[in-house]
């Protein structure tokens, strides 16, 4: 049995103690850094969630209205064309006035009308299109209320402060309390937030246009960057001879991965829009610009995956009579595909959150309608966040945080998919 050697003198023992203390301090610094980072991230996520979760609910008021063709301004016989031209805004206001019979002055009626959202007439119109047989009868319809009252109902806007500091006056609060007492106000899931496009009214604004625009842009980005990136990686790693030209290309690919994203936006503005004349502010141009930005990431990830394939796989395939191209396509590339897909998904996740290049190519317009094709003008999720963040209205503040929550959710899902793909299909040699 051998004994542990003891330090020769006191100086050596002191140096060892100092070294152990330094190691413990270093570990402590690492733990503190992780705690600080986790605390900062948790604070950020909590602030976003606490501000934006209420946007997934909207407040509605129940209105009793007599669906008379005359009051709705519908010509007889009632057709689909006449339904589109109906005077729904006037009809819904008159029905709301009839419920508050004591409100007779013109000024008070204006204050009363401000409780209803501009979307109330749209809700009535949509109801008639689905229930055309209800003409001539009195029905009760749930319609959205104005954004200011919606914030009061959600508790986001204080009502116990001076009237001069509120957007809702005491008279309007009294009408709102009466509606609450008579069970004519409810909260329901805000499906319109995911379906509608942008709007000047916060209670009607949604991310529908931005969602579809981001989807089109990411699909175009994937269709362009993935095959080109894989082909470039295969050529550089398997077939390209070592020369100054290939070294120059590899160095530039690595440099492009670190170029600020706004440079790619300037490139799209100068070449894709001005030279090729593609339509401005469309997902087609956005997808092309994002593909240029994602391409270096995919090439680097694919090359790293190809390098990880053991040389014995290539040697065995060549020994069995396979050509170099068959060896790469049938053996090397399938084994490198998990890492390639992981890098691709991470690159697309990065592209999903990019704002600067999309601003440069004009995807910052106020878009109400949801785009039907990649050639239609549209917005994108990060650009929509940028637009809403400029507004100080409380309704848009919660919409901004809610849109950020949607982006974070997509980023988490995409990164989770990358991790699952790697753990499921990756082979360890």
Does 77 sit behind a cis peptide bond, omega within 30 degrees of 0 on the bond before it? yes
Burial class (CB in 10 A: 0-12, 13-18, 19+), 224: middle
Residue-level pLDDT at 2: 54
Which two three-digit tokens encode residue 157?
A: 């806007």
Q: Give the tens place of pLDDT for each residue, 337-368.
A: 888 988 899 889 889 988 888 888 888 878 88
- Tally the C-alpha atoms within 13 A of residue 335's C-alpha that lie toward its C-beta: 18
Mean pLDDT of 78-93: 84
Q: Give the tens place of pLDDT for each residue, 27-38.
A: 999 999 999 999
For residue 63, give the H/E element and its range.
Answer: strand 57-66
208-425 belongs to CATH 1.10.3720.10 = yes
The DSSP symbol for 429 reads: -
Q: Vertex 152, ends 148 and 153: CA angle to 5°?
A: 115
Q: What is the CA radius of gyration of the chain?
A: 31
Residue range(s) of every CATH 1.10.3720.10 domain in the chain:
208-425
Which two three-digit tokens encode residue 1?
A: 């049995």
Residue that is written with structure tokens 């909590």 in the block: 46
> Do 283 and 216 touch, CB atoms closer than 8 A?
yes
Mean pLDDT of 228-247: 89
Q: Alpha helices, DSSP H only, in 53-142?
A: 80-84, 88-99, 106-113, 119-130
Q: Give the tens place of pLDDT for each residue, 277-301.
A: 888 889 999 999 999 999 999 999 9
Residue 113 has a CB neighbour count (10 Å cut-off) of: 15
Which two three-digit tokens encode residue 272?
A: 């894709």
End-to-end CA distance of the chain: 39
The DSSP symbol for 139 reads: E
Identify the band that residue 242 occupies on the pLDDT scale cut at 50, 70 and 90.
Answer: confident
382 phi-psi bin (left φ>0, alpha ψ -120 to 50, beta other): alpha
Average pLDDT, the chain: 88
CA–CA separation, 96 and 101 (whole Å): 9
Residue that is written with structure tokens 């004349």 in the block: 277
Q: Give the tens place of pLDDT for each residue, 299-333.
A: 999 999 999 888 888 889 888 888 889 999 888 98
> Do 189 and 56 touch, CB atoms closer than 8 A?
yes
Q: What is the pTM of this model?
A: 0.86
Which two three-digit tokens encode residue 142?
A: 């749930």
Identify the band that residue 7 occupies on the pLDDT scale cut at 50, 70 and 90.
Answer: low
pLDDT above 70 (res 429): no
Residue that is written with structure tokens 């976003």 in the block: 48
């Amino acid at each position: 049995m051998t004994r542990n050697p003891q330090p020769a003198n006191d100086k050596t023992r002191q140096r060892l103690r100092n070294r152990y203390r330094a190691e413990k301090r270093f570990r402590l610094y690492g733990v503190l850094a992780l705690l600080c980072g986790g605390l900062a991230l948790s604070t950020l996520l909590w602030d976003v969630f606490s501000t934006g979760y209420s946007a997934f609910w909207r407040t509605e008021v129940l209105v009793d209205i007599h669906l008379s063709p005359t009051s709705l301004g519908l010509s007889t016989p009632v057709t689909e064309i006449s339904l589109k031209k109906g005077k729904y805004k006037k009809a819904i206001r008159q029905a709301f006035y009839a419920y508050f019979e004591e409100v007779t002055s013109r000024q008070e009626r204006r204050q009363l009308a401000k409780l209803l959202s501009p979307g109330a007439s749209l809700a009535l119109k949509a109801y008639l299109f689905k229930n055309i047989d209800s003409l001539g009868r009195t029905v009760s319809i749930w319609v959205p209320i104005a954004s200011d009252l919606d914030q009061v109902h959600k508790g986001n806007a204080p009502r116990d402060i001076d009237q001069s500091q509120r957007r809702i006056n005491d008279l309007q609060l009294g009408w709102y309390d009466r509606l609450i007492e008579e069970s004519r106000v409810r909260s329901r899931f805000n499906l319109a937030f995911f379906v509608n496009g942008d709007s000047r009214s916060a209670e009607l604004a949604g991310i529908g246009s931005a969602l579809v625009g981001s989807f089109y842009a990411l699909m175009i980005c994937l269709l362009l960057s993935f095959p080109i990136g894989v082909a470039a990686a295969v050529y550089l790693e398997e077939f390209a001879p070592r020369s100054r030209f290939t070294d120059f290309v590899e160095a530039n690919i690595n440099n492009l991965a670190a170029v600020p994203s706004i440079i790619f936006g300037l490139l799209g503005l100068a070449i894709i829009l001005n030279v090729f004349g593609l339509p401005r502010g469309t997902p087609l141009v956005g997808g092309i610009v994002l593909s240029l930005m994602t391409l270096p990431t995919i090439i680097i990830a694919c090359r790293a995956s190809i390098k990880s394939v053991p040389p014995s796989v290539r040697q065995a395939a060549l020994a069995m009579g396979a050509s170099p191209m068959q060896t790469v396509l049938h053996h090397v590339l399938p084994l490198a595909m998990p890492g390639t897909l992981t890098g691709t998904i991470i690159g697309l996740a990065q592209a999903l959150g990019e704002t600067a290049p999309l601003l440069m190519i004009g995807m910052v317009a106020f878009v109400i309608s949801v785009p039907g094709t990649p050639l239609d003008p549209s917005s994108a999720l990060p650009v929509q966040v940028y637009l809403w963040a400029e507004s100080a209205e409380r309704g848009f503040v919660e919409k901004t945080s809610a849109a950020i929550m949607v982006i974070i959710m997509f980023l988490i899902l995409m990164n989770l998919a990358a991790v699952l793909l790697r753990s499921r299909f990756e082979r360890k040699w």
